[in-house]
Structure 1
């Protein structure tokens, strides 16, 4: 009796396992073929309508463009630059922009987290330039299918898989015919061949598309509508009032590029060499910096730097009494202190501080500096580099 019962149980378990396996296979196959909508996305916190707010010159849109800002070897700032270049393209094609999220920096503890685009940019202002929808709305309006154009330098990883990771949406890629597949790589420069497709996912290039007709005029209008989110601008205003006692200040973005290679990629010989040069040249560095401040009649400096490049702070601090950093902002501004453990937000707030400086000395090879420079240019403020400072040691300018 016991043996019969045991046999019966085994048969039931085996049949149950087979049925569940078959159901699981069908589920996975269905998800792959038709796309999958996850539970309501926590990262989509704002409600946008697809055609509600358009530019004065537009009465309808020809389709949707989702810039998939996924470059596994890059940080958020590189994606902001690509997003900036995509905006004129969206307008030139008379499309609706899909607000794709931005990932944290790869060096952060929560690097896998995708941040709502509204955490960086003013979505309401963007909607005055082009219509904007969320990825979820894009998925729904396009029935989970889109033409996928995977471009850009450093474009690694399965794009649809990465999009699913960021949004919870699994898209189905529409296959182009052979003629249009050949033209796909020229989408940025000669996009007319793909205008007929209403739903496009695009991993954008890093460079703008200068030879597109009317690019310059359209990009100027686009950039005027690309501003940081209101909460970031508000913290920037508060921070400006608290540092340097409200007086004019110089902002300096320091990046020890070869030091970063050592820290991030393990090239210790470069890191050690760089540190020795920086220390040995510090007296001339300080003197050149002080003379420049005296020439510009500025006594206060805001220094922005990543955590692993603190050496410049250690060098300048004994010689510049009014030297401020993000630590001072966190100590004195409650709204900024609330984000003290969120490097994603603090970095954006620092850009707001830099943007307001009367003089900005940036790092020529840094995307962080490049985006700050772009924002300052919109305010008719210039950006310079260490090479512009008289008698600054070449060893110092070379590693920044």
Structure 2
């Protein structure tokens, strides 16, 4: 078999979701690289879509501890890839799109073309033109079977490819998650915040994501009509008091009176109501208002602030995650690798069933 350093895997995913979608996609490809004896190319990640979204990318090393990751898989730069493979990728797969709705196919082609443009701009690497190809599940499976024949392999959208990983490949996740850690700088800032939070006492963390509000604000395709979204938003607003009371009782039963709430940068009634019930409620404002220049700068850097919040959630006694969220999933994976508890916010007692899908 060809030496690992010359069998490369280039992750081809930039715009299929937010940063956490891409972190989780990269994690999948680490599993693939390990089990198929490949080096993986580190890629940058784009900024968040909220709070003054700025176009551009953040270096891989700013997000993850590359030295730690290299203990389990060879990690190389795009420049190294070009030295070995030239300015093109022996492209293996894109997820099947032939059975998608027309609007979804159009959106996915748009995202891929945007990725093609960025590969050209960032590294002068050429991705193939797939506009006239109508991939189906059978073709994708056939391509996956031929993957080991390809030296300079590119995989696009692994999380959207059915059965992308085998059970053998999934089995390495527990090993990977011990080494797939946030960067040393992020962990250091997280440690600083945790030392200041709650006077050093135990705390719980909640990821509160008002998905209905996001649907209205970003005109999500998951929302059938704006009227429906506004109705659901009002329902969730009315339920905020009940949810806050349920969280308060949950914390009382644990004997903890301090909570960190990770929220998108928009007004949240839930937090306002929770402050009337729980003695100590902290949000990102606590981080950016400290007498610490490094933390204060995060007010204008939502990308790093979000990572620091995830590190804070890692350190909580209990993490109550959002039902559908890559942000929550990424925190959960990290906590489970450390043997820490994770629960769904909707699963604590007295949460109304009609709002499960929104929290």
Q: TM (normalized to structure 2)?
A: 0.84
With over 3 angstroms needed to count, the CA separation of the structure-2 counterparts of 1:212 and 1:390, relative to structure 1, is closer
Partner of 1:388: 347
Partner of 1:109: 52
SS in 1 for 2:311: helix
Q: Report whether the alignment pairs 1:338 with 2:282.
A: no
Q: Cα distance, 1:256 vs. partner?
A: 1.2
Q: Cα distance, 1:83 vs. partner?
A: 0.9
SS in 2 for 1:332: coil
Structure 2, gaps ≥5 residues long? 98-107, 131-135
Q: Cα distance, 1:391 vs. partner?
A: 1.2
Pick one of 82, 86, 91 that aligns with 2:25.
82
Pick one of 322, 337, 348 that aligns with 2:280.
322
Paired with 2:159 and 2:213, the residues of 1 have a C-alpha distance of: 25
C-alpha distance after superposition, 1:96-142 (max 9, x if no partner): 11001111123353442011111111111111111111112212221
Partner of 1:169: 124
Paired with 1:163 and 1:151, the residues of 2 have a C-alpha distance of: 16
Partner of 1:232: 186
Paired residues of 2:88 and 2:125 also in contact (CA < 8 A): no
Q: Report whether the alignment pairs 1:397 with 2:353.
A: no
With over 3 angstroms needed to count, the CA separation of the structure-2 counterparts of 1:193 and 1:340, relative to structure 1, is same
Q: Cα distance, 1:225 vs. partner?
A: 1.5
SS in 2 for 1:251: strand
Paired residues of 1:235 and 1:349 also in contact (CA < 8 A): yes
Larger gyration radius, structure 1 or structure 2: 1
Q: What RMSD in Å do the two structures reach over aligned CA positions?
A: 2.7
What are the equivalent positions in structure 2 for 1:1-400 lying under 5 Å apart?
Answer: 60-72=4-16, 74-152=17-95, 154=108, 156-158=111-113, 159-165=115-121, 167-171=122-126, 173=128, 185-186=140-141, 191-206=144-159, 212=166, 214-265=168-219, 268-308=226-266, 310-332=268-290, 334=292, 335-400=294-359
SS in 2 for 1:318: coil
With over 3 angstroms needed to count, the CA separation of the structure-2 counterparts of 1:327 and 1:94, relative to structure 1, is same
Q: Cα distance, 1:377 vs. partner?
A: 0.5
Paired residues of 2:25 and 2:159 also in contact (CA < 8 A): yes
C-alpha distance after superposition, 1:186-225 (max 9, x if no partner): 27xx845222321122213216857636324433222221
C-alpha distance after superposition, 1:230-270 (max 9, x if no partner): 00011111110111111100101101111110011175424
Structure 1, gaps ≥5 residues long? 1-57, 176-180
With over 3 angstroms needed to count, the CA separation of the structure-2 counterparts of 1:94 and 1:255, relative to structure 1, is same
Q: Cα distance, 1:343 vs. partner?
A: 0.5
Paired residues of 1:103 and 1:115 also in contact (CA < 8 A): yes
Paired with 1:211 and 1:194, the residues of 2 have a C-alpha distance of: 13
Count of residue pairs the alignment pairs up: 334
Q: Cα distance, 1:79 vs. partner?
A: 0.8
With over 3 angstroms needed to count, the CA separation of the structure-2 counterparts of 1:392 and 1:192, relative to structure 1, is closer
